[in-house]
Structure 1
Amino acid sequence: MKIEVWSDFVCPFCYIGKRRLEHAMEKFAHRDKVTVEYKSYQLDPTAKHIPGKDYYETFSELKGIPLEQVKVMNQQVAEQATTVGLTYHFDTAKYANTFDAHRVAKFAETKGKGKEITERFLHAYFTESKLMSDHQTLVELAGEVGLNKEDVKHVLDANLHAKNVREDINEARQIGVQGVPFFVFNEKYAVSGAQPEEVFSEVLEKVWEEEAKKPVLQSLNPNKQGTSYCTDDGCEIKE
């Protein structure tokens, strides 16, 4: 089974949804037959870090939402994160553009480190308040998961893997993704949002069961008499 996950590194529900899927997979009997691929998505392609303004202020101005309402809303999200063992620090988070981080993630995939870099980047943003648009930060984080820092620096400086990121984003548009996280199972079944763990468990079982079913053919022969056929023992001609 293949699961494709569209997400963004600054999407709070993407990290929560990721954990819930992982918890469901831990209980899934066929988890060793499942591969997960993370796809790029940007909630705000025009986002940029504004020094001197904290996350709440930036979000409030961009979305036109009162500051206190932003704080309450994000506190509720942070409380949800704790239910899956995650710690969010919105008070020190740094609003940033994630395009370059996605490029590094695409490079990490070529080195077999796609899942590792996704986890590291999400933790860095929500728990450690790292600036995810800063190149040196991205290089250091990539080095922590085993990537060569000089290679990562070259990826960033040469604008490599930008095409791969845009392809993921364009694919998301084509299949109707309007928000993330967005999960696609075996290119046939879609789950939108950070659904409860039970939902992911049900989907895993349903997809596995349906994909494992052998097609049953129904005979259209009008009758068995007068049928010529061959078996392992030879061929018979019926009159």
Structure 2
Amino acid sequence: MKIEIWSDFVCPFCYMGKRRLENAMEQFAHRNEIEVEYKSYQLDPEAKHIEGMNFYETFSKLKGFPLEQTIAMNKQVAQQASTLQLTYNFDTMKYANTFDAHRVAKYAAEKGKGKEATERFLYAYFTESKLISDHETLIELAGEIGLDKEEVAEVLASDRYAQAVHHDIRQAYQIGVQGVPFFVFNRKYAISGAQPETVFLQTLEKVWEEETNVKPVLQTLNPTGADAGVCTDEGCEIKK
């Protein structure tokens, strides 16, 4: 079984969705026969770090949201993340553009370290408040997961893997992705948003049981009928 995951490193629900899928996979009997591939997506291609401004101020300025609303919204997201033992430090977080991080992740995947890069970059951004658009930061993080730091520096000094990142983003639009995280199972079923673990487990079992050479139209599943956390280019918030 192959699972493709479109996500962005600054997407809070992407980290939560990733953890929920992983928790579901731990309960799945055939977990060792699953291939997971992370796909690039940028919530805000124009995102940038503004020196001297904190995350809330930057987000408010670039997105046009009232500061008070921005703070309250992200506090709620951090509380939800804590239920998965994830720590989101929005107070010290550094707003960043993720294009170069995605390029390094593509390089990492080529070296067999794609999963490690994804987890490391998410943790660095949300928990450690590292500026993941900074090249030196990306080089250090890549080194921590066993990648050659000099090769990573060469990647960042060039435009290597830029087309691969753009290809993933175009592909997302082609299959109807409107927000992330977005999980595609064998190009047969899709889950949009950080759905509950039970949804992921049910989907894993359903796809496994129905495994066939037939490739029907992609169907987006939401068996609970509830809104799940999903990030769009307008921002992230918990639906009520």
Distance in 2 separating the partners of 1:113 and 1:65:
37
Quote the offset at 1:213 in angstroms: 9.8
Q: Aligned residue for 1:14?
A: 14
Secondary structure of the 1:163 match is: helix
Secondary structure of the 1:36 match is: strand
Secondary structure of the 1:195 match is: coil
Distance in 1 separating the partners of 2:86 and 2:188:
30
Q: Report the identity percentage.
A: 72
Secondary structure of the 1:16 match is: helix
Distance in 2 separating the partners of 1:155 and 1:203:
37
Distance in 2 separating the partners of 1:7 and 1:74:
18
Matched, 1:85 2:85: yes
Distance in 2 separating the partners of 1:71 and 1:22:
29
Secondary structure of the 1:211 match is: coil
Q: Aligned residue for 1:172?
A: 172
AA paired with 2:25? M
Quote the offset at 1:159 in angstroms: 1.6
AA paired with 1:127? T
Q: Aligned residue for 1:23?
A: 23
Q: Aligned residue for 1:42?
A: 42
Distance in 1 separating the partners of 2:103 and 2:165:
6
Q: Aligned residue for 2:163?
A: 163
AA paired with 2:156? L
Please list the CA deviations of residues 44-65 of structure 1 after superposition, one character each: whole Å capped at 9, or x if unmatched. Answer: 0001110001100111122222
Secondary structure of the 2:210 match is: helix
Quote the offset at 1:70 in angstroms: 0.9
Quote the offset at 1:208 in angstroms: 0.6
Distance in 1 separating the partners of 2:136 and 2:184:
33
Kindly report structure 1 stretches of 4+ aligned residues shifted beyond 4 Å. none
Q: Aligned residue for 1:230?
A: none
Q: Aligned residue for 2:205?
A: 205
Quote the offset at 1:212 in angstroms: 6.0
Q: TM-score, normalised by structure 2?
A: 0.87
Residues paired across the two proteins, number: 214
**Structure 2: segments with no counterpart, 5+ residues:** 215-240
Root-mean-square deviation (Å):
1.2
Which residues of 2 match residues 107-186 of structure 1 at below 5 A?
107-186=107-186
